[in-house]
Amino acid sequence: MDFNPCSYAFVVEDGMYNFSSLDLVNLQNKKEFPVVLDWSIRNKTCKEARKNKTAYACKDNSVCRDSDNPPGYRCYCFSGYKGNPYLSNGCKEIDECRDSSLNNCTSSKNCLNTVGNYTCFCPKGSYGDGRKDGTGCTAKNKQSLWTKAIIGASSAVSLLFVIIAFVSWGLQRRKINELKKKNFRDNGGPVLKQLLSKIERTAEKAKIFTEDELKKATNNFNASQIVGKGGFGIVYKGTLDKKLVAIKKSRFMDHDQIEQFVNEVFVLCQIKHPSVVKLIGCCLETSVPLLVYEFIGNKTLHYHIHNEVGGSSMPWKTRLRIAVETADALAHMHSDAPIHIIHRDVKSENILLDDEFQAKVSDFGVSRLVPLDQTQLSTLVQGTLGYIDPEYLLTSLLNEKSDVYSFGVVLLELLTGQKALSSDRPDKDKSLAAFFLDSMKEDRLFEILHERVRNEGNSEQLKGVAELAKRCLRIKGLKRPTMKEVKSELEELMMGKYVHVEVATDIEETEPLLGPPTKSCNTSVSLGPDSIKFQAAMQLESGR
C-alpha cells in the first residue's frame, strides 16, 4: 500500500516482541525471535483415531490426548519414558537411578528403578523414606537387650490395657443393652407390640422407637431442645424422619399401672381427630417410657389468653371456634373412640394451638380408659388446682362429667381472660368458677367479660355461652350436660342460634354432695366452688 512503508513480515511468539517505530527503519539488532508451532494430527479425536489402527499415529508406551486448537490429537510418551511417540518403540524407559538429576533419592545407591518410575529406600541400619524431600535416612541407635526388653514389656502392658478396656467396654455395653431389654419388658413392650400388630395394615400404627433414635432426634436430650416443663416432666422438640416431633419425658411412672399405660398408648395411637394431638409412638427402653407426639409450635391457649403482647388479644370469634373444636375432641373421646377416654386434666395449658390457631387437645398423662360397660372409675384424685371437679374430689369417682366441669372453667377463661386461680381477686373469689357464679347471681356478667369479648360478641351469644358454662359447673355431675351436648350448643351459638336454657341457681350450687356435715366434724366445709376451705381441700387432695 502507498501509505505502508513496512518491508518486514515475521511470525513471533505472543508477548516476545514489543513494537518500536525504530524497527521500521532498522531491525538489524533483532534478527531472531522465538516461535511456537501449534499443531495436531488430522481432524479427529483420539477415540475416532484409535478405530483405524493402521493410521493411528501414537506408538508403543505413548498416550493420546485430544487437541482443541487446531482440532485433532497429539501423542506423548508415558511418564517415566522419553523419545518420539510417533515411532515404533520410540518411547524409551528412563532409568532415573542412573542420573541423580532425574530422581529425588538421597543417594543413587538408595534408588531402585521400576517400570516408568523409581523408588527410594534406606540402607540397612537406618530408617526413613530415603528421599531428599522427605525424612531421608537416619542411622538406627543400637539398643541394649535391656532397652529392648523394656520396650517389649511396655508394649505388652499397653496391649493388655487395651484388651482390658475393650472387654470392659463390651461388658458395659452388654449391661446397658440388658437394662434396655428389662425396661422394655417392664414397660409392657411385648404386650404393646402384640396389640399394635392387630391394627389393620391400612391404619397408621404407632412406632416403638429405640432410646438411641430419640437421643439423636434431640441431640442427646440437650437443654436447648426443651419446649415445656412442669410437674409431669419435660417436653423436648426433636426431628424424626425430617419431621418435627414433641418428645415427652415423664418424671416418674407407676409400674403397677403398666397395663393401663399400654392400653392408653394402643387406643390413643388410633384416635384420628383433627383437634387431638397425634401420638406418633413411644420408647420403652428407658426407666420411664417416652411418648412421641406431633409437634405443635404455636404455644398453648393459656399463653395466648393470659400473656397478651402489646395490648393485643385473641378475637372472640377465634375463642369461640377454639371452644367448639376442644368440645368436639372431648366428645369424640367420651363417645366415639374405640374405648371411652376421660382426659382428667382439661385446662387451657393442655390445649395447644397450631399456626392457624386450630385447637389440639394434648397431655394424656393422667387420662383413664373407661370400659364400655362402666360409667365411672374409682381412682386417686388427680388434676390441676382450679379445674378439678368438686364431686370427683370428694368421692374419688371419676366419670365423663369431670371433664365437663374442667371444660366449663376453660370457657370462663375464654370469656373473661382471667386465670382459673388468682391471688389478685378477693379470697372468696380466688377460684374463677366462684367469681363467675357470684357475678352471674348479681347480674354482672358484662362487667367481668374481657374487653375485646364484650366489644366483639353478640350479647345474646355471650349470654348463651355463659349460661352453658354455668351448667358445666354444676356441683352434681348428673346435672351437667354431656360433652356432645356442649359441643352441639356451642355450634348453634357460633351460627347465631340463641336458645335460652333455664338454669337453676339457688340451692343446688351449695348443697352438700354427701349429706350435711356431722356434729363430730371440727370444721364445716362448704362444698360450693366459692368456698375457701374447698380450695384448701383441693390443695391437699390435688394430684398436682
> Which CATH number does the domain housing residue 265 bear?
3.30.200.20
Q: At what angle do helices 400-416 and 432-441 cross, to 10 degrees?
A: 70
Residues 351-373 pLDDT 10s: 999 989 999 998 776 666 665 44
Inside any domain, residue 166: no
- Say whether both 387 and 531 belong to one domain: yes
Q: Is the pLDDT of residue 525 over 80?
A: no
- Say whether both 119 and 233 belong to one domain: no
Inside any domain, residue 451: yes
- What confidence tier does 193 reach under pLDDT thresholds 50, 70, 90? confident
Q: What cell was used for 2? A: 502507498
- Say whether both 308 and 397 belong to one domain: yes
Give the residue-averaged pLDDT of 450-455.
92
The catalytic residue among 23, 129, 241, 345 is 345
SS3 of residue 407 by DSSP: helix
End position of a domain, from candidates 295, 322, 356: 295
Residue with cell string 348443697: 511
| Percent of residues, the chain, with pLDDT higher than 90 | 31
pLDDT value of position 308: 62
Q: Is the pLDDT of residue 307 over 90?
A: no
- Say whether both 265 and 323 belong to one domain: no
The reply to whether omega before 190 is within 30° of 0 (cis) is no
Cβ 425 vs Cβ 436: under 8 Å? no
- Say whether both 358 and 274 belong to one domain: no
- Say whether both 280 and 308 belong to one domain: no
Please, is 341 exposed, middle or buried when counting C-beta atoms within 10 Å of its C-beta (0-12, 13-18, 19+)? buried
- Say whether both 388 and 252 belong to one domain: no
pLDDT value of position 109: 86
Q: Is the pLDDT of residue 294 over 80?
A: yes
Render 281-300 in DSSP notation, one character per residue.
Answer: EEE-SSSS-EEEEE---S-B
Cβ 304 vs Cβ 353: under 8 Å? yes
Between 229 and 217, residue with greater pLDDT: 217
Between 288 and 371, residue with greater pLDDT: 288
Q: Is the pLDDT of residue 530 over 50?
A: no
pLDDT value of position 367: 63
Between 500 and 356, residue with greater pLDDT: 356
Of the candidate ranges 8-12, 115-119, 483-487, 530-534, the one whose mean pLDDT is the lowest: 530-534
Between 230 and 18, residue with greater pLDDT: 18
Q: What cell was used for 489? A: 350448643
Q: Is the pLDDT of residue 182 over 90?
A: no
Inside any domain, residue 320: yes
- What confidence tier does 446 reach under pLDDT thresholds 50, 70, 90? very high
pTM: 0.59
Helices (H), 256-399: 258-268, 301-306, 316-331, 390-395
- Say whether both 313 and 369 belong to one domain: yes
pLDDT value of position 45: 92
Q: What cell was used for 216? A: 439423636
pLDDT value of position 522: 31
- Identify which of 116-125, 170-179, 200-209, 405-414 has the greatest average pLDDT: 405-414
Sorted by sequence, the CB contacts under 8 Å of residue 106 that are 6+ apart come out as: 120, 130, 131, 132, 136, 137
pLDDT value of position 360: 93
Give the residue-averaged pLDDT of 314-322.
94
Give the DSSP H or E segment for 524: none
| Beta strand pairing call for 207-209 and 279-283 | parallel
Q: Determine the Cα–Cα distance for residues 298 and 23; give it in Å rounded to an integer.
A: 84
Give the residue-averaged pLDDT of 328-335.
91
Give the residue-averaged pLDDT of 15-38.
75
Inside any domain, residue 36: no
Q: Is the pLDDT of residue 471 over 70?
A: yes
User: How many domains in the chain?
Assistant: 3
- What confidence tier does 412 reach under pLDDT thresholds 50, 70, 90? very high
- Say whether both 511 and 429 belong to one domain: yes
pLDDT value of position 34: 86
- What confidence tier does 505 reach under pLDDT thresholds 50, 70, 90? very low
pLDDT value of position 371: 54
Q: Is the pLDDT of residue 516 over 50?
A: no
Between 120 and 253, residue with greater pLDDT: 120
Among 285, 124, 295, 139, residue whose Cα is nearest residue 218: 295
Q: Determine the Cα–Cα distance for residues 218 and 201; give it in Å rounded to an integer.
A: 29
Sorted by sequence, the CB contacts under 8 Å of residue 165 that are 6+ apart come out as: none
Of the candidate ranges 39-43, 59-63, 215-219, the one whose mean pLDDT is the lowest: 39-43
Of the candidate ranges 82-91, 118-127, 236-245, 516-525, the one whose mean pLDDT is the lowest: 516-525
Inside any domain, residue 40: no
pLDDT value of position 368: 62
- What confidence tier does 266 reach under pLDDT thresholds 50, 70, 90? confident
pLDDT value of position 345: 87
pLDDT value of position 254: 63
pLDDT value of position 531: 38
- What confidence tier does 506 reach under pLDDT thresholds 50, 70, 90? very low
Inside any domain, residue 78: no
- Say whether both 289 and 358 belong to one domain: no
How does the average pLDDT of the chain come out, rounded? 80
Q: Which DSSP category does 94 fall into?
A: P
Could you give the C-alpha distances from 208 to 193, 284, 291, in angstroms and in order?
8, 7, 10
Residues 432-444 pLDDT 10s: 999 999 999 999 9
pLDDT value of position 520: 32
Binding residues for ATP: 249
- Say whether both 281 and 316 belong to one domain: no
Here the CATH number for the domain that contains residue 335 is 1.10.510.10
Between 370 and 427, residue with greater pLDDT: 427
Is 212 among the residues known to form the active site? no
Among 403, 350, 402, 340, residue whose Cα is nearest residue 373: 340
Please, is 381 exposed, middle or buried when counting C-beta atoms within 10 Å of its C-beta (0-12, 13-18, 19+)? buried
Q: Is the pLDDT of residue 470 over 90?
A: yes
Among 325, 339, 327, 264, residue whose Cα is nearest residue 296: 325
pLDDT value of position 467: 96
Q: Return the number of other C-beta atoms located less than 10 Å from residue 27's C-beta.
A: 13
Render 459-513 in DSSP notation, one character per residue.
Answer: HHHHHHHHHHHHHHT-SSGGGSPPHHHHHHHHHHHHTT---------SGGGT--S
End position of a domain, from candidates 260, 278, 295: 295
Of the candidate ranges 24-33, 144-153, 496-505, the one whose mean pLDDT is the lowest: 496-505
Q: Determine the Cα–Cα distance for residues 416 and 451; give it in Å rounded to an integer.
A: 8
- What confidence tier does 310 reach under pLDDT thresholds 50, 70, 90? very low
pLDDT value of position 472: 96
pLDDT value of position 287: 81
- Say whether both 419 and 534 belong to one domain: yes
Among 428, 433, 429, 442, residue whose Cα is nearest residue 415: 433
pLDDT value of position 42: 80
Between 297 and 75, residue with greater pLDDT: 75
Structural domain for 462, as ranges: 300-541
Inside any domain, residue 464: yes
End position of a domain, from candidates 295, 330, 361: 295
Could you give the C-alpha distances from 245 to 214, 235, 279, 291, 292, in angstroms and in order?
10, 10, 10, 10, 7
Inside any domain, residue 14: no
pLDDT value of position 497: 74
